[in-house]
A and B are shown apart, each in its own frame.
Chain A
Amino acid sequence: MRAEVLKGHLDWLLLAALEAGPLHGYAVMEALRTGSGGRFDLPTGTVYPALHRLERAGLVRSRWSTEGGRRRRSYVLTPAGRRALAGERSSWQEFATTVSALLEGRPSPAPA
């Protein structure tokens, strides 16, 4: 799947990848790749700017460490990021349920 398909959803997928704990940029990309069964194979270079954008928005926080003599930047969800992810998860499930119902020609469940 190409990166353009994920436009608008990438931020949420990155937040979900970070939900389990801190990861560095390449590990985030690997988590997306393995978590999607290889379907989301993004260019690594597109993941880093998105992580920076999320940090600017206060949804993730980064910290530097030294690994094998190299500086490494890891990202972790902030409380605001966790809340935003929970909200998006709920909205997405409602959206997906409604679209699935329409595509399959069955009535959509009434909003909760």
Chain B
Amino acid sequence: MAILAELEDGLWTATIAHHARGLPPEEAARVAVAEFGDPRTVGTGFGPELAAATGRRVGLALLATGPLVGASWLLLAAGTWRWAGQEPPAALGLIVALVGLALVVAVPAAVLSVAVSGRLSRWLPTGPQVGATAAAVAACACVAGDLVLLGGLLAAAVLAGGVAWPAALLAAGASSTRLSLAGRAARRCLDARATLISP
């Protein structure tokens, strides 16, 4: 991990510097560790940076994969109804509305998580937990959206006369993968956020 490599180099450099000033190696290492500060302070110091980096990674991943998942579902809808010349079931409107609601939450939250954890952090008056919280909200909204889509697919397959199966497998695979990853990402973001809030 990059942070550990950097800290290790810092400790080595400090030890070498103290040794060069005349301290025996063991004493030089002891002084270097002492002036580094206690591990809790160092860990607390890195907490906001780790939370911001986690939020940013999750936000970017959701923004990058969202269009791919969406495209796989559009392909399924087109293959099942439009290209087959069939009328979509009335319940499709409800599914589209629910997924749209998830998107209305997820997209701005993901954009916010990226914005507050990058260069804009200089000008945006937000605490370090905002990025992680926004990314967790975006990931949870994606989970909700994927659950709605997969539930809709199941209903269409069972009740509405079937679907275009190759496209259905692609869409279901895309949403299942994202659902699983987004769920874990939301957990990571909330954990990172919790370390900032807990004393």
A26 at the interface (CB under 8 A from B): yes
- In contact, B6 and A73 (Cβ under 8 angstroms): yes
- In contact, A73 and B9 (Cβ under 8 angstroms): yes
- Min C-beta distance of A91 to chain B, whole Å: 15
Residues of B28-73 whose CB lies within 8 A of A: 35-39, 41-42, 45-46, 48-49, 52-53
- Min C-beta distance of A45 to chain B, whole Å: 3
Which residue of chain B has the shortest Cβ distance to A55 in the bound complex?
A: B49
Which residue of chain B has the shortest Cβ distance to A44 in the bound complex?
A: B36
- Min C-beta distance of B128 to chain A, whole Å: 9
- Min C-beta distance of A9 to chain B, whole Å: 16
Task: Tell me the number of A-to-B contacts counted with CB atoms below 8 Å.
Answer: 85
B-contacting residues of A (Cβ < 8 Å)?
Answer: 24-27, 30, 41, 43-46, 48-50, 52-53, 56-59, 67, 70-73, 80, 84
A-contacting residues of B (Cβ < 8 Å)?
Answer: 2-3, 5-10, 12-14, 17, 35-39, 41-42, 45-46, 48-49, 52-53, 117-119, 121-122
Q: Known pairs A44-B10, A45-B36; list 16 more (Cβ under 8 Å).
A: A24-B10, A25-B6, A25-B9, A26-B9, A26-B14, A44-B14, A45-B7, A49-B46, A49-B48, A53-B48, A56-B118, A58-B119, A70-B9, A72-B9, A73-B6, A84-B122
